[in-house]
Structure 1
């Protein structure tokens, strides 16, 4: 397993370099430029200085190298100039967002807690709901519970999040007044009162995304359980006198989780990417809304950086899913 993991990590390096090239040049060569955002009333010499400060006048390969270098940036320690020279800090300057005039990674770090809190909770709630529903629906196939679960899953599949989120706002926020319509990003949890305020404002976005996530995962869980419950090893376990609980939860569930792990693992990067539509609908100041704002403002460094971070997470969680295969199924050996 260790050899396989190291081999995959080494293979990920050229893969991510190729992905970074594609992302950088696709965004950089897209129509529109930072110069179009500068007002026409700005004098030509000032316009040139602005573009120089933004670094867009440099050759494209230089801009790619500087953009890629920001992922290896380390904040200089106190006295670092005296040890390595002042050129060290100058050579490790970070990429600046065109929109906020702040380092791109600083903006991402500021918005990451909101995304992890709301979107991460929604994904976790979706998993905790979907797995038991999928297991019981498969065990009680064609029962009323199974048919109801299928109906809810079809609703979650077919109804887009912008519609279900708007519907929840109209019913539960405007109609009943139970929850706020917008997410307050300035709220700090310091006591039980602010904690319940946080829970109330998280409820609607968590419901919106949890329904969509649970619909997909529950169907995969049900299908995988049904496939394994008809296998010979299940009949053998029952013939040996094992209890139905042991057969289902110990033998069938473990093998059924193998394909479901892929769905869950590959869905985790969406937590960091944020549910873009849901974040904008409820006013969550997360990474998803930052991406939308960067696209509207033609903030190329922010768009490129976020897209590459999503690619890194997808490659990473692909590896994690493969490793979990070996832990769930002892028949799988990578070495």
Structure 2
């Protein structure tokens, strides 16, 4: 006589609620860890910048005639206090509601500078990221499926060249070829023409094309190499062989079964790469005269603009923390075996 033992079923909503609670706890824990790390990083950067730049440098040559301006800047940045205590004055002003301060290099409030320059950078970073992510994914799958073919060797060689080439060299080559030699053919400007962003869509599109393509190529060169290796490893897994043995088409095996696990290493690269793009590219923006965060950072550094430098560092740190967190969450979505504990 057989006795059937029935196990009580677990309600679906209970499992879902448990997963949501685990995800919420993980995100909360990561944020609580990231905030003090970000504050420590800002403190160290403030000390480092204070040790190397002096906002009063322009006043030394005219002393004592400009003593009043010299004393005003000294009081504003607490330059008469110990260098290791100055960051606390900055944090006190920041959290007391006084804002991010005033940019001496741009002549505007730091918050307004970050808003306008951040939007300019995003207009280049978003298309550069989307173009780079799509093409690197397609090249990764192509090279993995056709390993050691002529096409694989060709794209592998191009990726090695792009990966090894400095960003300023690539930007200059693209600028000369498409912006100067072939400008009449493509109608693309070699550098920003000085118009206000958003004034004319088609003119804006021509302004951002070359810097966006330059940044996208750098991303494709690196991401396609890692993506190819990850896809090759995934395509040799046992469950892929089982899927092929069941008679599934190669398209279904690759795009439905292999791609999900093959994407995991690329998620980290995409997250870090996108946060870096949004933080601004100093070299690319400077070469193409694009008024983004990268070019603004270089200007603030040269003019000893401490408030603007700290705002850019804080902006970069926050983006890095956020996109690292997004990458960790996506790991669990792409691979259910990864648990956010």
Equivalent position to 2:160, from 154, 157, 162: 154
Per-residue CA shift, 1:232-269, capped at 9, x if unaligned? Answer: 11111111222211111111100011111011111111
* Aligned mates of 2:34, 2:175 — CA distance in 1: 43
Question: 1:58, 1:103 → 2: CA distance?
Answer: 24
Q: Aligned partners of 1:242 and 1:70: how far apart in 2?
A: 63
Using the TM superposition, give the Cα deviation of residue 161 of structure 1 relative to its aligned residue in structure 2, in angstroms. 2.0
* C-alpha deviation, 1:94, in angstroms: 4.0
Question: 1:153–1:214: 8 Å Cα contact kept in structure 2?
Answer: yes
Shift of 1:69: 4.9
Counterpart of 1:78 in structure 2 is: none
User: Quick check: 225-234 or 266-275, which moved more?
Assistant: 266-275
- Other-structure match for 1:34: 55
Shift of 1:187: 4.0
Match of 2:124 among 118, 122, 125: 118
Is 2:288 aligned against 1:286?
Answer: no
- Name the CA distance, whole Å, in 1 between partners of 2:322 and 2:222: 22
User: Partners of 1:197 and 1:154 in 2: how far apart?
Assistant: 33
For the pair 1:45 / 2:45, whether they are aligned, the reply is no
Deviation of 1:303 after TM superposition, in Å, equals 1.6
Partners of 2:218 and 2:297 lie apart in 1 by: 21
Deviations, residues 252-301 of structure 1 (Å, cap 9, x unaligned)? 10001111101111111112221111100011000000000011111122
Distance across 1 between alignment mates of 2:39 and 2:175: 43
Query: TM-score if structure 1 supplies the norm length?
Result: 0.87
Q: Which residue of 1 aligns with 2:15?
A: none
Separation in structure 1 between the aligned mates of residue 297 and residue 110 of structure 2, nearest angstrom: 11
Displacement after TM superposition at 1:195 (Å): 2.6
Q: Is contact 1:73–1:94 with CA below 8 Å preserved after alignment?
A: no
SS at 1:38 equivalent: helix
Q: Give me the TM-score of the superposition, normalised by structure 2.
A: 0.85
After superposition, what is the alpha-carbon deviation per residue over 1:22-67, rounded to whole angstroms, capped at 9, x for unaligned? 111111222x311212252252532443324633345356642342
Alignment check: 8 A CA contact 2:120 2:197 kept: no
| Cα distance change on mapping 1:34 and 1:14 into 2, 3 Å | same
Partner of 1:131: 137
1:141 to 1:159, Cα distance in 2 relative to 1, 3 A: same
Question: How far 1:151 sits from its partner (Å)?
Answer: 1.6
SS of residue paired to 2:148? coil
CA distance in 2, matches of 1:167, 1:188: 25
Matched, 1:224 2:230: yes
Q: How does 1:1-335 map to 2 (within 5 A)?
A: 1-30=23-52, 32-38=53-59, 40-42=61-63, 43=65, 45-52=67-74, 54-57=76-79, 59=81, 60=83, 63-69=86-92, 72=95, 92=98, 94-177=100-183, 178-187=187-196, 189=198, 194-335=200-341
Maintained 8 Å contact 1:217/1:260: yes
Equivalent pair of 1:254/1:328 in contact (CA under 8 Å): yes
Give ranges in structure 1 of 5+ residues lacking alignment: 75-91
The Cα of 1:231 is off from its aligned counterpart by 0.8
